[in-house]
C-alpha cells in the first residue's frame, strides 16, 4: 500500500516528520519498506501565463515559439513542440534551466535541463508535460491548468499545488490489517502513536434537491455475501479530465488517472479503504441494482475486456436484465462512465471476504477492490464513502445531488459489535511489562475502540467495525503492546525447564555422518527434494510421490534416490573442466504410502511423528576421476574406492566391520561386474558400484564414476558396544605369506581360511599385495597376506610356534583351494 | 718390547685416515681383534719369565690404552662427519606441495544450521524434528490459519498428489512451524525446543528458492512472556553476530502468534553508520527472526490450557544467515552444488 505523506499529514492536521512517522509505523507493525521522495524537482517550477505564440521561423518540425509571462521574472520566449499550447491568458508550467525533468524512459529516467538551442533557438527552460514533471502519465501535450485564471504569473507550483513535494511511504500491510489499506486507517495509527487527537474524515453535507421519478433507483441484496448496499444519484455531471492535484496524487500512488468520476471513486478508495463504483444511471436497466448469486450460464464482460463465464458460486451486481459487475472484484463493461455520461449512480457496498476471495481466485483477478474486500472492509463505511464521493463529485463534475439515497441490507443480519474483556494481569503476563490501566485505555480509545465497563482488575472495550482482526483479549493486548512500544519490553532469561523434545527424528545422526564424510575428503551437496521424472528415469528409477502443482511441469517428482542429483552435480563439475569429483549428500528420499499403510491416516501419523509420505534418510556419494596421489598417477577410482569410503565411514562411526557380497536386488545404476551389497553385522546397509555403463552417457561422465547409496538408519543401527583392549607388553609377530590361487576364489575366502587355519593367536590377516601376469597360470593370481600373531598373557611368542601356525594356515588353503605357496 | 714400541708408534697414524664406522672397526681390529698385532703379542705373555711379566704387562696396557683412546677419538670424528654429511645433503625444495589428504567441505547451509542450533542448545533448548511432507492440518489449521483467508497467500504451498484419498490435503511443509504442533501433541508442557529443517514454497525467483532451511523455536511453560522471547533472541543475536549488537522488537503478523513481532539486530558490519552498507542496506538493522507469543488457539488445538500456559515461538531463515556470513551473492548458488562454489567456502 502506498501512502502519501502529505495526504496523511493533511488528514492528521500535523506534520511530525517523514522519518519519525515511518519509524513509528514500522515499530507498530505497519512496516515501511521504502520511502520515496517525489516532486523535489518541482520547487523551481513556475506557473506561466501565455502572452503570445508564433510558429518557429525555420524549423520543418511543428515547433511553436511561446512567449510566457513569469511575473517578477519578466517574459521569456520558449521553444515548444506541443500541439496544445493554449491561447494567450492560458496557464502552463515552466521549468527553468537547472530543473530535473523526466523522460518516461526507464533506461535514462531523468536529466537536468540546460540551455541548449532547439532548432537554432535557445530557451531558458521548457514548458512541461505531466511525464516531464512526473505528475502523471500523459505525454500528449504540455500541462494546461484548468480553472486557474486567477493564479498570478510566476506563482511557484508548490504554492499552487500544496503537497506537490511529497514522500510516498511503501507500507507492507499484513493480511490482518485491512484498515491500513486506506489513508484514514494509517492516519488513525499515527495519531495513536503520536498521542494526538484525530477526528477522522468528515465530508461536508451536500444539499440535495428533490428527486424526480426517473432519478430514483431500486437497490436490493439477495445474497448473504452482501451485507449492505448503499447508493446515491447525481445528475448534471460533466465528465472530463481531473484537475492536476487529483491526477498527480493518483499517479504517485500508482493509479492511472482516467476521468473526474472514476478518479474520484479511486481517490475515495485510497482515502477510506472502501472500494466503490460509479455507474452511468442511464444504462442501468429499470434503474434497478441487485446483489445476487450468479446463475449458471450467465456471462459478464469485465473491465479488463475478458468475458467471464459465471457459476452459481459467483456473486454479481446486476440490473434488471443482466450482471453488470462481479461483486467486490471488478465492474463490467458497458455500465461504466463515458464522456457522455451525465447521470451517476454511486455504489458503496460491503461484501463477504471469503466470497470475494473465492471469486477472485476462480477468475484469477487480483484487483484493488478484491484485495481489500478479501481482507475485510469496514462494514460501517459505505455511508461515509457515499458522502465523501458526493462531496468530491459535486466539486469535480458540477453535478447536483438528488434526494434518492438508498441503503439496502442483505438477508443475513449484521454481526453486532464485539465486546472484549481485558484483564490487567493478562496484559502484564503476555507483554512482560506492566502497562498502567490508564495507558491501556488511552491506547485502545485512540485506536477507535469504545470503552465499556471497568472494574478493579479488568476493563471492557467494544471493537470498532474496521478492525475485524480483533476478536479476543489477546488481540487487544497486541494492540496495547504495539502502540505502547514493543521496544519497551525488557529482556528476560527463560528459566530452563530441562524438558526433552518429544518429536524427534535423526538430527544428530545426520550430523555425525556429515562430519565423518567431510573428514574423509568429500564435499557436501544439497539438492532439491524434487526434480524432473527424466532425471530419476536416467538412473532407472521412478518416483512414487508427486507434487500436484509443481513450479514447472517437469519438476513434480519427489526424489526416490539421492544418486540422480549427485550425478547431475558431478556432470556439471565435469562440464566445467573438473577431473576429480568427490561429492556426498545426506538427505531425505520419498515414497508414496501404500493404501493399506495405516500411517496414511493423518491423526495416527501425526502422533507417530510421521507424514503423508514415507520418508527415509539416505547417505549417498559419487566419486569421479583419478585417485588421490602425489605427482604420479595412482589410477582412477573403481568400486573398491567406493567400498573404502563406506568402510572408513563405518569405522569412524561405529567400528563395525563391513561385509561385501553381490546379493539382494541391486539398484538399476549398478554395474553388474563391479558392484557390492554392503552389510554391517549381517544387515544390509546399501550398495556401492561403478556407474552402469549405459547411464554414463546422459550425464557425460567417465568410466571412472563410482556411486554409493546407504540407509542412514541401517548404517548406524549395527553399532556394537565398544570395549577397551588392554595392550600386551609383549611384541606381536608378523609373517608374510604369498599364494598362487585361482581368481575365482574371493580374496575374503582365502583370508578367512588362512585365519581359520592359523588358530586363535592369529589376530589379523590382511592383503598387502596382489599380482596378475601372463607368466602365471591362466585364471590365477598371486596374493600376499600379512598375518599378525598376538601373545596372550605374559608368554612371549616363539618363532617356532608362529612358524607352525603359518604352516597349518597355508596347508588349509592349499588343501581347500588348491593354492600353491610361493 | 721393541715390537710393542713399534705398535705404539703405529697407532696414531693408523687411526688418522679413518673415515667411517667400517674403517674404524677394521682399524680397531688390526690392533685388538682376534688376529690383531697387540692381541698376538699379549698371547705371548705366558712365555715370559715372571720378572719380565710385570714390566711387559704395564707396557701392553699402555699401548692398549693408546689404541682405545685413538679409536674413541676417531669414533667421535667419524660420527660428527656422518652427521655433517646427513645435514649437508641437498636441501628439499619445501616450496613443493605438501602430501596431504583431501579435505572435504561441509555445505554452508549446514555449517550455519549447526552453529545456530548449538547456540540454542547451549541455552537449554532440545532439538525436535518433523517430516518434510505433512498435512494442511499441521501446516495451517492447527496453527490457527483462518480458512479461506489471504494469510494463506503468505505461503505458496506445494500440494502432493493424494491419489484420490479422502481427508486433509497432503503437502510439503511451508515452514518448520509444523513441528510446534507435533511437539505440543507429543507431551505436556514444559516445552523448550528448536526444530531445524527443510521447507518448501511454490516460489522461484532471484530472492526465493522453492526449498530452503529454517529453524523454529518454541517455549511453552507457566509464566512465559514476550520479555523471555526478547531475552532469548537477544542472547542468540549476540552469540551469532557479536556481543555488541543490540536488538529491536517491532510489530508484525503471523497467524499462529499473538502478539506477533519481528526481531531485528543492529547491523554487525556498520553498526548503522554506513548508508551504503552491503549488509543492512543503510537501515542499520538486520532481520533476525519472525516471532511472537504462541496464539492461545494453537495451544487449545493441541489440548493445552492457554490460561495456565503461555509460550513464545520464533522462526529464522538459515539461508539468509548463510548468505550474510559467506557473502553469497544469490540464493540459487546455495543449491547449485557447483564444486567451484562449494570449495570456495
Ligand atoms: Zn550495516
A residues 772-801 lying closer than 8 A (beta carbon) to B? none
Contact B101 A601 (CB under 8 A): no
> Are A764 and A788 a contacting pair, CB within 8 Å?
yes
CA distance A440 to A456: 14
Q: What is the pLDDT of residues B148-157, one digit of tens each?
A: 777 777 778 9
Q: What is the pLDDT of residues A770-780, one digit of tens each?
A: 999 999 999 99
Confidence (pLDDT) at A527: 98
Q: What is the pLDDT of residues A8-61, one digit of tens each?
A: 999 999 999 999 999 999 999 999 999 999 999 999 999 999 999 988 888 778
The residue of chain A nearest to residue B184, with distances taken between CA atoms, is: A502
Q: Quick check: A508 contacting B, CB < 8 Å?
A: yes
Confidence (pLDDT) at A496: 78
* Burial profile A584-623: b = 16 or more Cβ within 10 angstroms, e = fewer: bbbbbbbebbeeeeebbbbeebbeebbbbbbbbbbbbbbb
Adjacent-strand bridge partners of A524: A584
Lowest mean pLDDT among A225-229, A630-634, B299-303: A630-634
The SS3 call for residue A568 is helix
> Are A584 and A561 a contacting pair, CB within 8 Å?
no
Q: What is the pLDDT of residues B82-102, one digit of tens each?
A: 899 999 999 999 999 999 899
Contact B123 A503 (CB under 8 A): no
Q: Phi and psi at residue A490, in whole multiples of 5°?
A: -75, 175
Does the pLDDT value for residue A722 go beyond 70?
A: yes
Q: What is the pLDDT of residues A108-157, one digit of tens each?
A: 889 999 988 877 888 899 999 999 999 998 888 999 998 888 899 999 99
CA distance A548 to B162: 8
Q: Quick check: A73 contacting B, CB < 8 Å?
A: no
Q: Which of B133, B192, B260 sits opposite A611 (nearest CB)?
A: B133
Q: How far are the Cα atoms of A236, A504, B39, B252 from residue A25, in angstroms, in the given order?
A: 43, 40, 111, 11
Residues 6+ apart with CB under 8 A from A534: A554
User: A641: distance to nearest CA of chain B, Å?
Assistant: 14
Q: What percent of chain A has pLDDT over 90?
A: 84
CA distance A666 to B16: 77
Q: Distance, CA A3 to ligand 1 centroid (Å)?
A: 27
Contact B105 A433 (CB under 8 A): no
Contact B192 A494 (CB under 8 A): yes
The residue of chain B nearest to residue A428, with distances taken between CA atoms, is: B225
- What is the rounded average pLDDT of the residues A402-431? 92
Mind listing the domains of chain A with CATH numbers?
2-39+166-194 (3.30.56.10), 40-160 (2.40.50.140), 213-409 (3.50.40.10), 419-488 (3.30.56.10), 507-717 (3.30.930.10), 733-821 (3.30.70.380)
pTM of the model: 0.90
Q: What percent of chain B has pLDDT over 70?
A: 99
* Beta strand A670-680 pairing with A683-691: antiparallel
Predicted ipTM of the assembly: 0.90
A353 closest CA partner among B9, B159, B155, B148 = B148
Does the pLDDT value for residue B327 go beyond 70?
A: yes
The residue of chain A nearest to residue B137, with distances taken between CA atoms, is: A602
B contacts of A629 (beta carbons < 8 Å): none
A183 closest CA partner among A161, A164, A165, A168 = A168
Q: Distance, CA B286 to ligand 1 centroid (Å)?
A: 8
Does the pLDDT value for residue B56 go beyond 90?
A: no
Contact B202 A498 (CB under 8 A): no
Q: Which of B138, B148, B296 sits opposite A357 (nearest CB)?
A: B148
Q: How far are the Cα atoms of A307, A510, A541, A757 from residue A659, in angstroms, in the given order?
A: 69, 23, 26, 21
- What is the rounded average pLDDT of the residues B235-255? 93
CA distance A701 to A574: 7
Measured from the Cβ of residue A169, the count of other Cβ atoms closer than 10 Å reads: 23
CA distance A623 to A617: 20
Q: Is the dihedral of CA A427, A433, A437, A439 positive or negative?
A: negative
CA distance A369 to A255: 13
Confidence (pLDDT) at A600: 67
Confidence (pLDDT) at A132: 94
Number of A to B CB contacts under 8 A, please give it: 306
Place of cell 516445552: B191
Contact B225 A492 (CB under 8 A): yes
Does the pLDDT value for residue A718 go beyond 80?
A: no
Confidence (pLDDT) at A545: 94
Confidence (pLDDT) at A723: 87
B contacts of A432 (beta carbons < 8 Å): 225-228, 230
A contacts of B301 (beta carbons < 8 Å): none
A contacts of B323 (beta carbons < 8 Å): none
Q: What is the pLDDT of residues A535-550, one digit of tens each?
A: 999 999 999 999 999 9
Contact B252 A29 (CB under 8 A): yes
Q: Distance, CA A142 to ligand 1 centroid (Å)?
A: 44
Confidence (pLDDT) at B84: 92
Peptide bond connecting B190 to the previous residue in cis, omega within 30 degrees of 0 = yes
Q: Which of A31, A527, A530 sits opposite B337 (nearest CB)?
A: A527
Confidence (pLDDT) at A557: 96
Does the pLDDT value for residue A182 go beyond 80?
A: yes
Beta strands in B210-284 (DSSP E): 211-221, 247-254, 257-266
The DSSP 8-state label assigned to residue A714 in this structure reads H
Q: Distance, CA B241 to ligand 1 centroid (Å)?
A: 12
The residue of chain B nearest to residue A475, with distances taken between CA atoms, is: B258
Contact A548 B159 (CB under 8 A): yes
From first CA to last CA, the distance across chain B in angstroms is 85
Residues 6+ apart with CB under 8 A from A675: A639, A662, A666, A687, A688, A689, A690
Does the pLDDT value for residue A329 go beyond 90?
A: yes
Instruction: Write a three-state SS string for A226-275.
Output: EEEEEEEEEECCCCCCCCHHHHHHHHHCCCCCCCHHHHHHHHHHHHHCCC
Rg (CA), chain B: 42
Lowest mean pLDDT among A342-346, A734-738, B124-128, B265-269: B265-269
Confidence (pLDDT) at A63: 87
User: B153: distance to nearest CA of chain A, Å?
Assistant: 9
Contact A529 B262 (CB under 8 A): no
Q: Distance, CA B289 to ligand 1 centroid (Å)?
A: 17
Q: Which of A525, A582, A607 sits opposite B102 (nearest CB)?
A: A582
Q: Quick check: A358 contacting B, CB < 8 Å?
A: yes
The SS3 call for residue A531 is strand
The DSSP 8-state label assigned to residue B209 in this structure reads -
B contacts of A530 (beta carbons < 8 Å): 158, 172, 211
- What is the rounded average pLDDT of the residues A319-347? 92
Place of cell 490489517: A177
Contact B339 A523 (CB under 8 A): yes
Confidence (pLDDT) at A104: 86
A residues 598-617 lying closer than 8 A (beta carbon) to B? 600-602, 606-607, 609-613, 615
Q: What mean pLDDT is reported for chain A?
A: 93
Q: Which of B114, B153, B183 sits opposite A501 (nearest CB)?
A: B183
> Are A308 and A363 a contacting pair, CB within 8 Å?
yes
Contact B106 A515 (CB under 8 A): yes
Q: Quick check: A223 contacting B, CB < 8 Å?
A: no
CA distance A165 to A7: 11
Q: What is the pLDDT of residues A698-715, one digit of tens each?
A: 999 999 999 999 999 999
Band (A291; pLDDT cuts 50, 70, 90):
very high
A contacts of B176 (beta carbons < 8 Å): none
Q: Which of B120, B177, B248, B250 is the mutation pick for testing A, counting most A CBs within 10 A?
A: B250
B contacts of A30 (beta carbons < 8 Å): 251
Q: Which of B106, B168, B230 sits opposite A489 (nearest CB)?
A: B230
Does the pLDDT value for residue B206 go beyond 80?
A: no
Contact A582 B137 (CB under 8 A): no
Confidence (pLDDT) at A598: 64
A528 closest CA partner among A587, A477, A463, A616 = A587
Amino acid at each position: 500500500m502506498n501512502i502519501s505523506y502529505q495526504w496523511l499529514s493533511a488528514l492528521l492536521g500535523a506534520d511530525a516528520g517523514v522519518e519519525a512517522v515511518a519509524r513509528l509505523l514500522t515499530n507498530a507493525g505497519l512496516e515501511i519498506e521504502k520511502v520515496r521522495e517525489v516532486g523535489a524537482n518541482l520547487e523551481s517550477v513556475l506557473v506561466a501565463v501565455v502572452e503570445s505564440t508564433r510558429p518557429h521561423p525555420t524549423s520543418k518540425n511543428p515547433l511553436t515559439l511561446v512567449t510566457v509571462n513569469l511575473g517578477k521574472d519578466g517574459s521569456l520566449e520558449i521553444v515548444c513542440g506541443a500541439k496544445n499550447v493554449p491561447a494567450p491568458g492560458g496557464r502552463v508550467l515552466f521549468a527553468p534551466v537547472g530543473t530535473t525533468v523526466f523522460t518516461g524512459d526507464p533506461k535514462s529516467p531523468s536529466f537536468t535541463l540546460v540551455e541548449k538551442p532547439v532548432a537554432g533557438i535557445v530557451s531558458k527552460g521548457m514548458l512541461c508535460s505531466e511525464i516531464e514533471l512526473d505528475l502523471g502519465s500523459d505525454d500528449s501535450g504540455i500541462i494546461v491548468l484548468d480553472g486557474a485564471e486567477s493564479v498570478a504569473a510566476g506563482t511557484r507550483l508548490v504554492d499552487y499545488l500544496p503537497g506537490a513535494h511529497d514522500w510516498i511511504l511503501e507500507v507492507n500491510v499484513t493480511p490482518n490489517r485491512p484498515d491500513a489499506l486506506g489513508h484514514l486507517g494509517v492516519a488513525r495509527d499515527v495519531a495513536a502513536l503520536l498521542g494526538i487527537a484525530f477526528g477522522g474524515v468528515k465530508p461536508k453535507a451536500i444539499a440535495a434537491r428533490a428527486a424526480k421519478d426517473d432519478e430514483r433507483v431500486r437497490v436490493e441484496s439477495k445474497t448473504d455475501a452482501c451485507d449492505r448496499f448503499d447508493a446515491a444519484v447525481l445528475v448534471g455531471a460533466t465528465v472530463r479530465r481531473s484537475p492536476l492535484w487529483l491526477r498527480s496524487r493518483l499517479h504517485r500512488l500508482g493509479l492511472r488517472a482516467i476521468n473526474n468520476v472514476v478518479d474520484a471513486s479511486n481517490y475515495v478508495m485510497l482515502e477510506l479503504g472502501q472500494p466503490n463504483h460509479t455507474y452511468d444511471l442511464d444504462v442501468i436497466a429499470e434503474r434497478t441494482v441487485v446483489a445476487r448469486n450468479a446463475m449458471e450460464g450467465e456471462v459478464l464482460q469485465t473491465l479488463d475486456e475478458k468475458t467471464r463465464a459465471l457459476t452459481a458460486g459467483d456473486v454479481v451486481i446486476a440490473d434488471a436484465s443482466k450482471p453488470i459487475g462481479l461483486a467486490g472484484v471488478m465492474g463490467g463493461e458497458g455500465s461504466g462512465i463515458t464522456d457522455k455520461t451525465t447521470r451517476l449512480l454511486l455504489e458503496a457496498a460491503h461484501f463477504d471476504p471469503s466470497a470475494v476471495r473465492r471469486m477472485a481466485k476462480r477468475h484469477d483477478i487480483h484487483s484493488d477492490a478484491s484485495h481489500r474486500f478479501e481482507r475485510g472492509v469496514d462494514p460501517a463505511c459505505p455511508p461515509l464513502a457515499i458522502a465523501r464521493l458526493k462531496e468530491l463529485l459535486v466539486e469535480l463534475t458540477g453535478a447536483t445531488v438528488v434526494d434518492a439515497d438508498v441503503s439496502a441490507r442483505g438477508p443475513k443480519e449484521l454481526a453486532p459489535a464485539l465486546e472484549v474483556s481485558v484483564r490487567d494481569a493478562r496484559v502484564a503476563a503476555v507483554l512482560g511489562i506492566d502497562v498502567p490501566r490508564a495507558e491501556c485505555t488511552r491506547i485502545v480509545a485512540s485506536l477507535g475502540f469504545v470503552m465499556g465497563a471497568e472494574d478493579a482488575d479488568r476493563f471492557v472495550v467494544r471493537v470498532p467495525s474496521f478492525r475485524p482482526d480483533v476478536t479476543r483479549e489477546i488481540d487487544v493486548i497486541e494492540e496495547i503492546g504495539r502502540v505502547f512500544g514493543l521496544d519497551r519490553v525488557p529482556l528476560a532469561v527463560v528459566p530452563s525447564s530441562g524438558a526433552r523434545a518429544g518429536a524427534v527424528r535423526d538430527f544428530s545422526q545426520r550430523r555425525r555422518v556429515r562430519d565423518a564424510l567431510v573428514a574423509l575428503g568429500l564435499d557436501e551437496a544439497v539438492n532439491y527434494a524434487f526434480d524432473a521424472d527424466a532425471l530419476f528415469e536416467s538412473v532407472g528409477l521412478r518416483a512414487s510421490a508427486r507434487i500436484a502443482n509443481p513450479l514447472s511441469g517437469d519438476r513434480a517428482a519427489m526424489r526416490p534416490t539421492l544418486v540422480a542429483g549427485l550425478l547431475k552435480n558431478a556432470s556439471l563439475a565435469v562440464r566445467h573442466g573438473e577431473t576429480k569429483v568427490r561429492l556426498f549428500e545426506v538427505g531425505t528420499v520419498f515414497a508414496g504410502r501404500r493404501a493399506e499403510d495405516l500411517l496414511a491416516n493423518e491423526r495416527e501419523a501425526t502422533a507417530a511423528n510421521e507424514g503423508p509420505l514415507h520418508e527415509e534418510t539416505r547417505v549417498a556419494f559419487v566419486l569421479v576421476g583419478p585417485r588421490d596421489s602425489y605427482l604420479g598417477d595412482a589410477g582412477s577410482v573403481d568400486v573398491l574406492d567406493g567400498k573404502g569410503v563406506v568402510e572408513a565411514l563405518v569405522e569412524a562411526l561405529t567400528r563395525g566391520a563391513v561385509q561385501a557380497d553381490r546379493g539382494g536386488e541391486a539398484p538399476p545404476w549398478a554395474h553388474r561386474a563391479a558392484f557390492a551389497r554392503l552389510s554391517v553385522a549381517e544387515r544390509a546397509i546399501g550398495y556401492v558400484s561403478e556407474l552402469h555403463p549405459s547411464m554414463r552417457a546422459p550425464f557425460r561422465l567417465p568410466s571412472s564414476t563410482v556411486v554409493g547409496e546407504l540407509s542412514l538408519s541401517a548404517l548406524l543401527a549395527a553399532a556394537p558396544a565398544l570395549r577397551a583392549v588392554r595392550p600386551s607388553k609383549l611384541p606381536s609377530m608378523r609373517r608374510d605369506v604369498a599364494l598362487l590361487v585361482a581368481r575365482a576364489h574371493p580374496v575374503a575366502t582365502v583370508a578367512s581360511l588362512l585365519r581359520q587355519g592359523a588358530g586363535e593367536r592369529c589376530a589379523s590377516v590382511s592383503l598387502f599385495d596382489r599380482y596378475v601376469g601372463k607368466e602365471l597360470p591362466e585364471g590365477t593370481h598371486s596374493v600376499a597376506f600379512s598375518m599378525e600373531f598376538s601373545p596372550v598373557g605374559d608368554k612371549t611368542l616363539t618363532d617356532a610356534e608362529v612358524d607352525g601356525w603359518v604352516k597349518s594356515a597355508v596347508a588349509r588353503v592349499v588343501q581347500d583351494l588348491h593354492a600353491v605357496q610361493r | 718390547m721393541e715390537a710393542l714400541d713399534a705398535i705404539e708408534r703405529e697407532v696414531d697414524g693408523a687411526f688418522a685416515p679413518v673415515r667411517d664406522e667400517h674403517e674404524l672397526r677394521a682399524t680397531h681390529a688390526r690392533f685388538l681383534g682376534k688376529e690383531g698385532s697387540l692381541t698376538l703379542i699379549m698371547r705371548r705373555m705366558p712365555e715370559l719369565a715372571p720378572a719380565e711379566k710385570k714390566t711387559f704387562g704395564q707396557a701392553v696396557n699402555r699401548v692398549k690404552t693408546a689404541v682405545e683412546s685413538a679409536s674413541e677419538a676417531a669414533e667421535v670424528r667419524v660420527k660428527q662427519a656422518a652427521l655433517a654429511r646427513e645435514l649437508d645433503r641437498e636441501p628439499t625444495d619445501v616450496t613443493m606441495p605438501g602430501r596431504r589428504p583431501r579435505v572435504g567441505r561441509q555445505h554452508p547451509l549446514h555449517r550455519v544450521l549447526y552453529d545456530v542450533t548449538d547456540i540454542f542448545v547451549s541455552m537449554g533448548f532440545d532439538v525436535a524434528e518433523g517430516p518434510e511432507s505433512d498435512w494442511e492440518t499441521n501446516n495451517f489449521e492447527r496453527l490457527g490459519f483462518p480458512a479461506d483467508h489471504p494469510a494463506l497467500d503468505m505461503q505458496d504451498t506445494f500440494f502432493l498428489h493424494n491419489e484420490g484419498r479422502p481427508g486433509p490435503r497432503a503437502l510439503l511443509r511451508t515452514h518448520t512451524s509444523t513441528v510446534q504442533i507435533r511437539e505440543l501433541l507429543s507431551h505436556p508442557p514444559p516445552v523448550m525446543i528448536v526444530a531445524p529443517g527443510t521447507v518448501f514454497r511454490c516460489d522461484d525467483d532471484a530472492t526465493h528458492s522453492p526449498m530452503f532451511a529454517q529453524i523454529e523455536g518454541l517455549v511453552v511453560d507457566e509464566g512465559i512472556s514476550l520479555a523471555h522471547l526478547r531475552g532469548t533472541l537477544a542472547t542468540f543475536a549476540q552469540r551469532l553476530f557479536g556481543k555488541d549488537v543490540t536488538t529491536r522488537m517491532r510489530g508484525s503478523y503471523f497467524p499462529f502468534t499473538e502478539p506477533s513481532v519481528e526481531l531485528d539486530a543492529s547491523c554487525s558490519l556498520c553498526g548503522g553508520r554506513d548508508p551504503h552498507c552491503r549488509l543492512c542496506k543503510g537501515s542499520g538493522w538486520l532481520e533476525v527472526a519472525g516471532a511472537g507469543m504462541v496464539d492461545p488457539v494453537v495451544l487449545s488445538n493441541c489440548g493445552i490450557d492457554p490460561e495456565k500456559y503461555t509460550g513464545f515461538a520464533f522462526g529464522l531463515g538459515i539461508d539468509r544467515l548463510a548468505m550474510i556470513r559467506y557473502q553469497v551473492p544469490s540464493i540459487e548458488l546455495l543449491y547449485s552444488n557447483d564444486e567451484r562454489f562449494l570449495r570456495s567456502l
